[in-house]
Chain A
Amino acid sequence: MKLSYFAWVRERIGKTDEELTPPANVKTVGELIAWLSARGEEYAHAFEKPHLIRAALDRKHVKHDVPIAGAREAAFFPPMTGG
């Protein structure tokens, strides 16, 4: 699936997006965050406070307990500050 990162999540990970295939036991957004956190220091830094991370699946806001099955794109970002 495509993973996209924005704002300080993007800066900490050091890339805007990437293609990754999470293992089958990664079923929810929260589990995807935990799996990514274990991929390296930069990911651990980006996701060190999971409660601050907002997520979207296929460009719709989702909570961390939502299943990722069928989603083509997951995005992670801090709370929004537009307007």
Chain B
Amino acid sequence: MAQVRIQREDFDAAEEARALIAGRRDIGAVVTFTGLCRDEAGSLNALELEHYPGMAEDEIARVAAEAEARWPLMGVTAIHRFGKIAPGENIVLVVTASAHRAAAFEAAEFLMDFLKTRAPFWKKEHRVDGSEGGWVEAKAGDDKAAERWW
């Protein structure tokens, strides 16, 4: 059963990875992916992340359940933040654990690909010059990345 959290607060990737493997002797591979807010060549002051409460949790849990059905996982943690996030800060975390690395790597990538196209989150840019940069547009490449798993 995956652990899914939607929160305003920051997370500690190392702490989450430690918690996932605590007390286990059967896990041989842990993959930790952290998505960060980048400054877009110095032009971005912050991202404002809006989400659909309730559905965000449900949708990430559905994607995680699909990952657990496809790969022999021994643990999954997914955390997605909302609210105002500055460059250098964490946005999203995926941790996957398995006996072998292939399953852990692939499941982490699958989770991120689907989270980007299915989890109800939207990013709005706040620019360094004080202007509102507008809503980030979805990338066709993200849809393609998700499609390759079918």
Residues of A that sit less than 8 Å from B by CB: 4, 6-8, 56, 59-61, 75, 77-83
Contact = CB atoms under 8 A, between A and B. Distances in A.
Nearest to B113: A83
Closest 10 CB pairs of A and B: A82-B121, A79-B138, A83-B116, A7-B122, A59-B55, A81-B136, A82-B119, A81-B123, A83-B115, A8-B135
B106 interface: no
B45 to A, nearest CB: 18
B50 A6 contact: yes
Interface of B: 35, 49-52, 54-56, 58-59, 80, 91-92, 112, 115-124, 135-138, 142
25 contacts: A4-B52, A6-B52, A6-B120, A56-B55, A59-B58, A59-B59, A75-B52, A77-B122, A78-B122, A79-B117, A80-B117, A80-B119, A80-B120, A80-B138, A81-B121, A81-B138, A82-B80, A82-B115, A82-B120, A82-B121, A83-B35, A83-B80, A83-B112, A83-B116, A83-B142
